[in-house]
Structure formats: C-alpha cells, structure tokens
Amino acid sequence: MNLINQNPFRVAGILASASARELEKQKSKIVRFASVGKEIESPYDFNFLSPIARTEAESNKAFALIEQNHGRVNHALFWFADNGPIDASALDYLTAGDVAKAREIWQKVTDNKPVSENNFSYYNNLGTLLLSQNEIADMQAGTALKFALINSVVFKNFIGLVADANYAIDSQVQIEQTVEQLMNSLENHPKFEGTQFMNLFANCPDEIKLAVSRKFTEDPLHNIDNRIEAAKSARKKDPKDAYDAGLELYKSTQADVLALRSTLSSEATQFKLVADKLAKEILQCGIDYFKALNDSGNPAPKAIEIIKLAKEITRNEQVLDRINDNIEAIGEWGGGQPTEEEREKVEEHYNVITEAIDENVTAPTNNLDPIVKFVKTCRPRLAKIKEELGADNEFYVAISSTVTNITLNTVIDIVNREQGKLKYNHSHLNSLSATVTRSVGILNALDKVAMNSQTKQRFNENKQTISSIKSQLNTAKNRKAGSDVGNVIRIIIGIAVFLIFVARSCH
C-alpha cells in the first residue's frame, strides 16, 4: 500500500511524532548527503516494506507534504509514532525486522481495550502495521483500529502528538478524508478494488460503514446524474438520436449501478430512487425515438430494445407498468413492419411481391390462372427474404401471411362460385372437379411458406375443406347410380356452405 510504502514521513526518514526541530535537522542532513551524491539511510526504512528511493527531489516533495498540520495528520495516520516506552520497544523490533514481536507488543495493549489517552498511539501504530501486511484479515483489522482512533474522543491527543496541539479537525471530516485516501491507494488492489472496497470496513461499526458508503457512492451518483442530463439534452435536441442516447446512457452507467447496488443493496431507498430516475430517462429515449421515426420507417424494434434496457434497472411497479405498456403498444404497431435495415436487404424481392399484389388486385377472378402466376412469382422471392432475414423474422412472416391470404381468398371465391353452379346444374361436376384439383395443387405449393398463427389456422381449415370436396368429387365421378351421385352432390354443396363460413369467420 503506497500510503505506507511511499509515506512522506518514511521518505523523510522520520517518525510521525518527530518535532519541528527534528524535521528540519533531517531535511538538512538529506540535502548535505545529496550534494555529494549519496542517499541517507534511516532506522525507520523498515525492511518489511518495499524498497524506497530517497533522492533530493523525492525528499523535498515529502517534506512539503508534511509541513502543514493538515498533511501531517493525514499522513501520520498511515505511519508510526513514538509516544513512550512501549512504542519505542515495538519500533526497535520493527527496525530489527521482527514484525511478529512488534505486533505482539501493540496487540497486548489494544486487544479488548477501548481507545484511551494511554493507548491511542498503539492503535495507530498497530493499525499501520496490519495494513502493511497485505492480508485481507489483517487489513480489515488495521482499518478498524484506524477509524476507532479517529472516531474517539482522544483523537485530539493523536493530533497533538503528530501536529500542532491547537490544530482541530472534525472527526467526520477526517473520516471522509481518510476513506478517500484509502480509496485512491487501493484503486487497483486485487482484493479491494471496485465494489470490494467496502470489505475493508468489515470490522468497523455501522456508523463508520455508513460514512464510507456515502463517500463511496458519491462518484457513481454524480456520474449517473451527469449521464442522465446528457441523454436528456441529446434526445431533446434531436429525437432521432434518442436511440443512441439511450444506449449510451445504459452502457456508461452499468458500472456505477453495480457499485451502488453492491454498496447500498438493491433494497436501499437511495438506490431505488436513482435506479428509477435512470430507468425513466432510458424509457423516454425509446419513446421519443419511436415517435420521431414512426412515420418514415419502422423504429419499433430499436425502440423496444432501448425500453427493455430500462426494465433491467428498476423494480418500481409503476415504472415497470409504464415500460410494459409501451413495449406492448409499440410492438403491436411495429409487428410485421420492416426496419430500415431489413427493407434495404430485401428491397428488390419485396418490390416484386408488392407489384404482384397490385397486379392481382386488378386481375380477373373467373379462373385460377392469375393466382397461379401470382404464387409462382412470390414463392421464390419469399424464399430469398427468408434466407436474408431468417425464418422467424416478423417482416418475413407478415409478407408470407399476406401472400397466403390473398391466394386463399381467390381460391375460395372461385371454388365457391363453381360449387354454386353445381347446385343448379349437375353437368358442372367435371368443371368443379378440375377447379378443386387445381386449387389443392396451388395450396400445396404454399405448405412450407411461413404464416402467422391466425393465417395458418385459416389456411389449414380451408385446405382440408377443399381437399374433402376433391375426395367427394372423385367419389361422385366413380358412382354409376344417378341417385348416389345426387347424394354426393348434396354433400359437396353442404361443404361449400362450410367453406364460405370458414372463409368469412377466419378472414
């Protein structure tokens, strides 16, 4: 930990309890040695810490950091001080490299003992030693010792030991400053980086944890607020950019949301408030994007994509209801309509099909030739669209369903017309048989074409009906007795009524 390894007091080669006179004396000594190209050694270099460079430049920087009371207190909290024989004895062991013995001495006078005028320096020294060991349990114990000292009524005694006795600082301010020092020092620490930082305070009382959480959430909250304002500004300036603004807002705040959830918990009121605010802005980005482009294309898929991101963030029932309502409404509007990218991919095939549809509207319906031509034109184009967009693509399914319904309507109309003739003139039996046989072939050609559920049901029911008519016609043609033929024809006419019913009810 650089707070200890590169501590200005260590670079200066002195204890945090050194007097102003000792400090100036040490500074002069370093300058003298530096003038002849040498670095001095100090009994407080402590070889259990990482190596240190004591150049003139580094030394001058270190002395500058501890010249004022504010700097002396902040850096003394992460160094050692001598406040009597017990400290002196433990420091001697540290100088000799016996960390275990020094630790034992300070633990005897701090374990299960409150911070007092007699042991406040032991709390600080043992805390520094434990934090330097780089083990999770030791660092947690060392952190608890530090904040117990800062939060105690004798913290003023510690200030008097390492700085001017008249210097005063509020304990809450010092807690926040010390938390910030630890955050900066452990930013890239593998065991305490990011949201794991809160683990460092596992042994601290709740009031310290609360103070830490406030400090730890400060930056994420500030960042989320700034990102929300940026997204709001972008979508209001040009709603067509709202998709990009919403996507950027979601991506740029994911780490901050995770940090807040880990620190505050997802049930904390503060977390819920910021999550709801973030979700509402992402939702609005999706809505504004849809409104801006629904007259010139199909923005539904992208709008829904953004709105679903908002759903991941909030747990507020009212916000979720609004999200779900918009997803449903936009989805209904956009179902089967192509996005701009989809239309570009299949524009050639789509145009051929739409032209074929237009031609079919004006084509005569007195025979099946036009609809046969229509199916032959559309089938290969539908296959190409399926290949480009996929079998489950809504746009593809919608076009296929349209082609199927147009074909089915024409076939039903012509079959019903032929059946109507049969009712009054049995000589039309062969003509009806040819029409029905050809109709079954046309419908068979559409068997593997995609359809929505409603069209599929209608298609299957009517195809089955027409196939049944074909079967009955074949029976009638094979019968020799006129009375039998009449019975079959009556059955066929009954089927025709059902066919008309199916066509109308499923249309």
pLDDT in tens, 137-159: 999 999 999 999 999 999 999 99
How high is the pLDDT of residue 488? 57
| Confidence check: pLDDT of 127 > 70 | yes
| 350-365 pLDDT per residue, tens | 889 989 888 887 777 7
pLDDT for the residue 424: 60
The answer to whether 8 and 75 have CB atoms below 8 angstroms apart is: yes
- Enter the tokens of residue 168: 């005063």
Identify the burial level of 166 via C-beta atoms within 10 angstroms of its C-beta, where 0-12 means exposed, 13-18 middle and 19 or more buried.
Answer: exposed
* Mean pLDDT of the residues in the chain: 86
Give the model's confidence band at 427: pLDDT under 50 very low, under 70 low, under 90 confident, else very high. Answer: low
Q: How far apart are CA 124 and CA 81, in angstroms?
A: 8
* Structure tokens, 426: 């049995």
**pTM exceeds cut of 0.95:** no
Give the model's confidence band at 377: pLDDT under 50 very low, under 70 low, under 90 confident, else very high: very high
Amino acid code (one letter) for 258 = L
Q: How far is the C-alpha of 38 from the C-alpha of 50, rounded, in Å?
A: 20
Q: Which tokens sit at 462? A: 């009517």
- Based on C-alpha coordinates, what's the Rg of the chain? 42
Task: Name, in order, each residue with C-beta under 8 angstroms of 168's C-beta and a sequence gap of 6 or more.
Answer: 156, 159
For residue 205, name the pLDDT band (cuts at 50, 70, 90): confident
Label residue 481 by pLDDT band (50, 70, 90): very low
3-state secondary structure of 294: coil
Q: With 90 as the cut, is the pLDDT of residue 248 above it?
A: yes
Backbone torsions φ then ψ of 317, nearest 5 degrees:
-60, -40
∠452-457-460 over CA atoms, to 5°? 120
Residue range 159-175: average pLDDT? 90
| Residue 503 clears pLDDT 80, i.e. is over it | no
Question: Residues 406, 412, 417, 420: what is their CA dihedral angle, to the nearest 10 degrees?
Answer: -160
Name the burial class of residue 188, with classes exposed (0-12), middle (13-18) and buried (19+) by CB atoms within 10 angstroms of its CB. Answer: exposed
Side-chain-facing half-sphere of 98: CA atoms under 13 Å: 10
pLDDT band at 194 (very low <50, low <70, confident <90, very high): low
**Residue 364 is encoded by which pair of tokens?**
């005569």
Of 363, 378, 476, 367, nearest to 427 by C-alpha is: 476
d(CA 265, CA 88): 45
Higher-confidence position of 374 and 424: 374
Helices (H), 390-481: 394-424, 429-444, 453-478
| Res 126 pLDDT > 80 | yes
Amino acid 494: pLDDT? 56
| Enclosing H/E stretch for 97 | none
Mean pLDDT on 294-307: 84
* The two structure tokens encoding residue 327: 């997803």
How many other CB atoms are found less than 10 A from the CB of residue 138? 15
* Cβ atoms of residues 496 and 469 within 8 Å: yes
What pLDDT sits at residue 480? 47
Residues 6+ apart with CB under 8 A from 287: 303, 307, 326
> Rounded CA gap, 423 and 425, in Å?
6
User: With contact defined as beta carbons under 8 Å apart, do 16 and 65 qualify?
Assistant: no
Supply the pLDDT for residue 237.
95
With contact defined as beta carbons under 8 Å apart, do 360 and 407 qualify?
no
Residue 133 C-beta-side C-alpha neighbours within 13 Å: 18
User: Which residue's structure tokens are 């609809």?
Assistant: 371
Phi, psi of 272 (to 5 degrees): -60, -40
Q: For the chain, what is the largest distance between any 2 Cα atoms, rounded to a whole number of angstroms?
A: 134
Are the C-beta atoms of residues 6 and 52 closer than 8 Å to each other? yes
**Residues found in the chain:** 507
pLDDT in the model for residue 504? 43
Calpha distance 52→46 (Å, rounded) = 10
Q: Which residue has the higher pLDDT, 218 or 376?
A: 376
The pLDDT of 105-113, averaged and rounded, is: 94
Looking at per-residue pLDDT, the higher value among 246 and 334 belongs to: 246
**Listed ranges 89-93, 130-134, 443-447; the one with the highest mean pLDDT:** 89-93
Q: How confident is the model at residue 507 (pLDDT cuts 50, 70, 90)?
A: very low
Amino acid 298 reads: N
Q: For tokens 């008097």, name the residue.
A: 160
**Sign of the C-alpha dihedral computed for residues 106, 108, 111 and 113 taken in this order:** negative
Share of the chain above pLDDT 70, in %: 90
